[in-house]
Structure 1
Amino acid sequence: MEYKNKLILAPMVRVGTLPFRLLAAQYGADITYGEEIIDHKFVNCERRINDIIGCTDFVEKGTENVVFRTCPEERNRVVFQMGSSDAVRALTAAQLICKDVAAVDINMGCPKSFSISGGMGAALLSKPELIHDILTTLKRNLNMPITCKIRLLKSSQDTVELARGIEKTGVSALAVHGREVTDRPKDPARWSGIADIVAAVSIPVIANGDVFEFEDFERIKSATGASSVMVGRGALWNASIFSPHGKLHWVDVKKEYVRKSILWDNDIKKTKYTLKDMIGHYETLESVEGRAITKSETFADLA
């Protein structure tokens, strides 16, 4: 997988399921990241072919709980993002999925407590030796692109040092969210911090943060020098942000998402969560539609 001049869907918990990834790809996303999956959970999964809807499921043993669902159509662009704090466990999880995805990414930026308390996500940013151990173990044992996603540290010098250490592991690309762990989404992303990293390393850097319109893809690339651009909330609110022909009306995008969710038998709770975030950007969840989504118990209700 190449990481030059690519438009990329960012990993988003509960959002980045198969229907949403296919939705983003339909509108022009070149690479689509799945939601972060914790290695502890994934190593307890078994691979099953689902002939009914034509997909591959990774299901928690002893249950019918689908932890990750993919399909042949996205094989060459889907990235499996993993939360891990242990090199051996990360490798075990990656070996389960490697034949069904285009690349494996290690989450090193998630600020959520469930991730940090387990020593994963942003907790890794202060553990360069563990980062090196996880990434080199994956690189040594897997014949596929390995990447990771980080956030900015307090000082530009520290972030650059971290990025250079990551580069030495041989990863194929480095995604950088232009915010610190303590920053909130409303805080402006620091594109200059991403530019410092681009100037310091030779591997492709994927810039992430405050991309809300198609024109922002070029703006952030010009400001940072990054190889590719990743978008999260901008895509969540309207996945047709990836289209060079201009955004579709969000209502049409929402309908297509519901259609794909039904087609691929998506988890109803995750579908509702995504829909609430979609419409919450445009209107109050106390609207007629917002309340209808909340009350929906089946896909028939949603449709």
Structure 2
Amino acid sequence: MATIPWLVDVLRSAGVQVVVEGDWLNRMRPGSFDPIGVLWHHTASTSSATNPHPALNICINGRPDLAGPLCQALVDYHGVFHVISAGRCNHAGVSRGSGPIPAGDGNTLMIGWEIDYNGVDQEMTAAQYNASIAATAAVLTRLGKDASHARGHRETSTTGKIDPSFIDLNVMRADVAAKMAGGTAWSSIVDNSTAGRFTASANWGVSSYSGQRYGADYRYADPVAASDPAWYRFAVPAAGNYRVDAWWPANSGYNSAAPYIVATTTGNRTVTVDQRVTGGQWRTLGTFALPTGDANRVAVSRWTTAPGLVIADAVRLTRV
């Protein structure tokens, strides 16, 4: 059975903070282990600044129904990697196949990160996400694999797993690819509260009702058959292709066909999204050709016949 005794050194070389948990080199499950990818999970435990790794003991020792270790590393609230095992772990179960990862024994095929957050009313912290991106990029580089070999458990599970919640896995892979390419691609976020970068009429109210919001608050307005967009202004550094991601809090009373307008090099493009679902995370609207310059580039429009409040929260551009 193969092992990955290089894991700690690779993580630390990537700038990831590491805590070694006991005899990690010899703590493993019996069976084959020949990893070709990295699998992201969430633990379903509620972590916090004062209780950053509530699931650590379970990940090391297992549960009554599943023997430990349950992952190669747990990622705590602060983004610290607690390295548990250099070998096979019970984290993936049977894989149905996803991307380049074939169907088969997921515990053989993939290294697992358990990111410690509950995934129901708690999303992963920025520290957890950034550390997991850096770690995944470093490990895939060591394995000689590209970013498509980073998967989420919900993509490979045969039993309906939902983890990791509140992230777009395509965005995750794009961020891993950028990291593997030698750095971070140009990216900029404009929130509804970003000074000088967001404009909206007085018809757009301000709310902090939803805990899924980006930042302190977000804007909302009733749908109307009129042009009254909320605009996001970006200083695009060079003409090229940019991925446009949007963040909104979801609620059953929000709009099912909220229009986003992207001002591209060839004119405005409109993408509609259902703001009743998939809130509290970055969702990709698409990749668009944008011109250079500092101008209004993305808008949320009120012009929709669908019922429910239209939400304007945050938008992100990333050079691809």
**Normalised by the size of structure 1, how large is the TM-score?**
0.27
- Bigger helix fraction: 1
- Bigger strand fraction: 2
Q: Which structure has the bigger radius of gyration?
A: 2
